C-alpha cells in the first residue's frame, strides 16, 4: 500500500472515525469537544516558527516533559507547540505547563493531507519532534515538502510493531527515509528501523530518556509530612498504580489477603484512566473497603483501608507516600507502564508478567534484583507482605533500582544534542 491508497482509505474511513469518537465520548465526554481541531479547523491562535512536539497521550506527555523543559531553556526565543490525541493527554499538558506562556497546545489533526497542511501552515515549525512511535505518513510528507526536519525521540519499535510496519513497506519505507533523526532506545530497535528503510546516518542509539527522571526533594518531604498527618508512619502502605480494567479486582483481592495479617495496611489505588475513577470507587465500596477519594480531600483515618488516587498529575507524589509499588497494565496483557518512576523514588517495584512495552527496562531491573514479577492476587499479596516484613530486602531492591536508573542516565542530553544539530541546519 502506498501513501495515495492510504489517504484514500483514511477518507473513506472517516465515518468510522466519527463513530469511534462518539463511542469514546459516551465514557469520556471530553472526546465530543474540540472536534474541529482534529481537522485543523478552529485551531487556537499560534505563534509560528518554533518547535512542534507530538506526544500521543498521557504516558508520552510525561516522558516528553523533561525534554520540553530543556528545549524551553535552550531556545528562550522559540515557542513550543505540544500536540496530543486524547483528552487525558491534553489535561496533562495543561497541568505540566500551566505557567509557561511559550507552550502552545492543540490536538494533532488527523493524518489527512489537507488537515496536515493547514496545521503546518499555521504553526510553521522549524523542527518536528514525535515521541516514541507515533508515525503519520501525511504529516511527515507535508513536513518534508516544507523542509521541516522530523525527529523521532525516545524511539521504540517492538518486533511485533516492526512486522506490522513491514507489511506495508511501500508506505513505511518512503516515510522513514523522509525523516531526519531516530533517537532510539536500544541497538535492537535501531536495527529494526534500518531494516524498514530509515537512512543509516539518521539512526542514533541514545538510550531511554525515561531514565533521566529527577525527583524534587520537596516531593519526598511533602509525602513524609502527609503520612505524619495521617499518623501512618508505622502503617504498612502500598500503592497499585496505573491499573487497567480487570486489575483492580485482583489488587483488592490481594489487599484483602494482606489485611488478614496486617489489619492496618493501607492501599493507594490509582486507576490509569480518569473515566474509570467512579467505577473503581464503586468497586471498592461494594467489596466493603473503607475508601477515601483523594479528590475529596478527606482525611485518611486509622480506619481507612483504601485511598483512591482519583486526581491528575499526582502519581509521583502518590508513589512517594507508599513503602512499595505495584505498577499496573501488567497483570492484563497491556504491556505495562513506567517502572522507573517508583524506582526513582527508591521504592521496591512489583509488576505482573505483561511488560512488552518495557522489555529492556524490565530486564535491567530484574537482573539487578530491583523488580519482582507476580501472576495473581495471591502472588501480589505475598510479595507486598514480604516487603513489609523484611525492610532490609525492601531497601536492597530500592537501592538496586536507583543504581540502574543512575547508570543509564544521559539519553536526554544525547537527544538534545541531536535536535540541536537539526535546528542548526534549518
Answer for the pair 347, 327: CB distance below 8 angstroms, yes or no: no
Answer for the pair 82, 55: CB distance below 8 angstroms, yes or no: yes
Is 201 annotated as catalytic? no
The span from the CA of 4 to the CA of 92, in Å, is 35
Decide: residue 76, CB within 10 A, 0-12 exposed, 13-18 middle, 19+ buried: exposed
Q: Which among 37, 60, 189, 341 is annotated as catalytic?
A: 60
Upper half-sphere CA count for residue 378 (Cβ side, 13 Å): 0
Answer for the pair 365, 409: CB distance below 8 angstroms, yes or no: no
Question: Among all residues, which ones are annotated catalytic?
Answer: 60
Amino acid at each position: 500500500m502506498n501513501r495515495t491508497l492510504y489517504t484514500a482509505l483514511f477518507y473513506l474511513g472517516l465515518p468510522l472515525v466519527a463513530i469511534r469518537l462518539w463511542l469514546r465520548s459516551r465514557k469520556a465526554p471530553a472526546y465530543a469537544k474540540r472536534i474541529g481541531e482534529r481537522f485543523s479547523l478552529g485551531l487556537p491562535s499560534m505563534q509560528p516558527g518554533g518547535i512542534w512536539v507530538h506526544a500521543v497521550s498521557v504516558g508520552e506527555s510525561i516522558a516528553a516533559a523533561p525534554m520540553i523543559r530543556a528545549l524551553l531553556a535552550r531556545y528562550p526565543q522559540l515557542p513550543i507547540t505540544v500536540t496530543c490525541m486524547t483528552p487525558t493527554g491534553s489535561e496533562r499538558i495543561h497541568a505540566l505547563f500551566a505557567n509557561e506562556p511559550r507552550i502552545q497546545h492543540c490536538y494533532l489533526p488527523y493524518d489527512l493531507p489537507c488537515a496536515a497542511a493547514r496545521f503546518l501552515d499555521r504553526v510553521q515549525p522549524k523542527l518536528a519532534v514525535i515521541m516514541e512511535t507515533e508515525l503519520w505518513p501525511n504529516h511527515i510528507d507535508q513536513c518534508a515538502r516544507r523542509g521541516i526536519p522530523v525527529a523521532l525521540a525516545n524511539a521504540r519499535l517492538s518486533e511485533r510493531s516492526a512486522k506490522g510496519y513491514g507489511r506495508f513497506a511501500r508506505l513505511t519505507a518512503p516515510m522513514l527515509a523522509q525523516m531526519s533523526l531516530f533517537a532510539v532506545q536500544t541497538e535492537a530497535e535501531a536495527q529494526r528501523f534500518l531494516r524498514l528503510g530509515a537512512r543509516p546516518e539518521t539512526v542514533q542509539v541514545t538510550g531511554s530518556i525515561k531514565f533521566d527522571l529527577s525527583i524534587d526533594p520537596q516531593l519526598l518531604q511533602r509525602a513524609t509530612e502527609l503520612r505524619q498527618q495521617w499518623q501512618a508512619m508505622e502503617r504498612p502502605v502500598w500503592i497499585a498504580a496505573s491499573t487497567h480494567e480487570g486489575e483492580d479486582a485482583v489488587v483488592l483481592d490481594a489487599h484483602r489477603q494482606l489485611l488478614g495479617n496486617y489489619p492496618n495496611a493501607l492501599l493507594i489505588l490509582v486507576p490509569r484512566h480518569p473515566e474509570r475513577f467512579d467505577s473503581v470507587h464503586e468497586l471498592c465500596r461494594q467489596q466493603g473497603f473503607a475508601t477515601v477519594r483523594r479528590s475529596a480531600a478527606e482525611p485518611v483515618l486509622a480506619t481507612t483501608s483504601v485511598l483512591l488516587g482519583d486526581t491528575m498529575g499526582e502519581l509521583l507524589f502518590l508513589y512517594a507516600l507508599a513503602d512499595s509499588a505495584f505498577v499496573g497494565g501488567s497483570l492484563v496483557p497491556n504491556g505495562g507502564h513506567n517502572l522507573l518512576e517508583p524506582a526513582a523514588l527508591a521504592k521496591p517495584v512489583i509488576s505482573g508478567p505483561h511488560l512488552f512495552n518495557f522489555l529492556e527496562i524490565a530486564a535491567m531491573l530484574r537482573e539487578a534484583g530491583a523488580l519482582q514479577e507476580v501472576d495473581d492476587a495471591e502472588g501480589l499479596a505475598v510479595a507486598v507482605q514480604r516487603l513489609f516484613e523484611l525492610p532490609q530486602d525492601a531497601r536492597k531492591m530500592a537501592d538496586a533500582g536507583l543504581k540502574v536508573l543512575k547508570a543509564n542516565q544521559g539519553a536526554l542530553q544525547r537527544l538534545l544534542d541531536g535536535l540541536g544539530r537539526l535546528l542548526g541546519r534549518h
